[in-house]
Chain A
């Protein structure tokens, strides 16, 4: 059973385009994180969202936590080839002793 569903699984776009990645669940999370992972490396934290409805911006990346804290989205504006990578969402249900990861979205930005 997938606690966190990410979509799309794969995304190939041209440089300059916008995109949105979704992370959905039927469970309520106390917090949700977004990571980026390069091949052969560990996940690198991009952002943590905690409050329902929260929006955080990191340069061209905008992260939103759903009002009910069951879902989240990552929006990238004017994607660049350097954005290419695997984007993962992960959530903690009630404490931070266990984190559930989504299956990831593999993004390819073509020059």
Chain B
């Protein structure tokens, strides 16, 4: 069964460093999402992406964040200058097309900012 994959599973970085979190959505899916979940808190929407542009973003998704689909398979989240409070699980999700609202989540990347 096709699934969303994410790399790395765990990323440790120093405050102020840039990180890139990678996701490979299910092939032939058209809509892509990033969410984060701070330990013990709820899943929060960050951004959605369709047709090579951002569809919607939350107030969390400020100028330090960016997303890209550099080729036909990867979907990346870049955090430019990490802060301690960026430590969280980051989940990627994909959805096939307009006719369905079913998202499939990846296993997540645990980001630890020291």
A: residues with CB less than 8 A from B are 30-31, 33, 35, 40-45, 48, 50, 88, 90, 92, 96-104
Contact = CB atoms under 8 A, between A and B. Distances in A.
Nearest to A30: B101
Given A33-B101, A48-B102, A97 B50 contact: yes
A38 B31 CA distance: 24
A90 B107 CA distance: 18
In order of increasing CB-CB distance, the 7 nearest A-B pairs are A42-B105, A101-B43, A97-B56, A97-B55, A103-B42, A97-B48, A96-B101
A101 B91 CA distance: 13
A103 B104 CA distance: 19
A74 B89 CA distance: 26
A89 to B, nearest CB: 10
A101 to B, nearest CB: 4
B102 A100 contact: no
Nearest to A92: B101
Interface in B82-114: 89, 91, 93, 95, 98, 101-108, 110
B102 A45 contact: yes
16 contacts: A30-B101, A33-B103, A35-B105, A42-B4, A42-B91, A42-B93, A43-B105, A88-B43, A96-B101, A97-B48, A97-B50, A98-B45, A98-B56, A99-B33, A99-B103, A101-B44
